[in-house]
Amino acid sequence: MRHTRTAACSSALLLAACLVTAPGTAQAAAARAGPGYVALGDSYSAGLGAGDYLPTGTNCKRSGRAYPVLWASAHRVASFAFAACNHARTGDVLSGQLGALGAGTRLVTLTVGGMDAGFTGVMTTCALGGTSRCLSAVAGARATMDRSLGDSLDRLYSAIRDRAPAARVVVLGYPHLYHLRGTCEMGLQDSARAAINDGVDDLDALIARRAAAHGFTYADVRAAFAGHEICSGSPWLHSVDALSFTESYHPTAPGQALGYLPALDRVS
């Protein structure tokens, strides 16, 4: 779903206090400068799957347990804008999430690209269609990445730098979804699980290259999630859930706190 309004909130555990704009006031000047930390991106940045969703009046599924909220709280950030939204593609971030950026922004974080590559459709096909169709779907996603995702990332990254020239930009990647030869007795075969992980590797490699080309920092989360993928003994990702399908294949609250947050801490 596209999100067209940025929620700009000060750093408190549940983002209770928000920035306001009033012409001629110090608050207005601060708002024009931009919050110190702006969190952009898709469902992985919004915290879908972690629960404790904030009452934003949208379907963005922003969680109070998402890594941007945890980081802002731990570092006592003076001003924080949480714009990430479920289902966001690069174009959605470009058109609907950059409004909070400004000359005063010092940190920007984001995950984005998985939706552009078609991984939601891939996982639906893999869950319902069997190994052969799953492998074909992964191959299709990789072709989409090669064909157009790099250009989409370039446009977005350039716009972020233009709007926040002084910011450090941290682009976080995606974890492997499956632990191979793990505890799952049913579901996909390991050949399909391995193909999905390989697709994630291709996506992360592309994101890392484009981030580096723009002078951004890339944070790899795969090592942090190692041993905590689906089919591991202690997964930090939701497996397919017919009762809450949108949360399937997304990090749990421990995945945000113990997977994504340390990866951001290491580079910020």
Does residue 3 carry a catalytic annotation? no
Q: How many CB atoms lie within 10 A of CB 215?
A: 10
Residue among 87, 176, 238, 250 flagged as catalytic? 250
Q: Which amino acid, 127? A: A
Note if 250 is an active site residue: yes
- Could you tell me which of 262, 235, 261 has the C-alpha nearest to residue 249? 235
How far apart are the C-alpha atoms of 21 and 42, rounded to whole Å? Answer: 26
11, 43, 232, 248: which one is catalytic? 43
Q: How many residues in the chain?
A: 268
Encoded tokens for 15: 């983002």
Cβ(40)–Cβ(167) under 8 Å? no
Q: Which DSSP symbol is given to 247?
A: G
Locus of tokens 């609250």: 253
| Nearest alpha carbon to residue 255 among 220, 219, 229 | 229
Please tell me the distance from the alpha carbon of residue 83 to that of residue 97, in angstroms, as a whole number.
6
The torsion angles phi and psi of 14, rounded to 5 degrees, stand at: -110, 20
Residues noted as catalytic: 43, 250
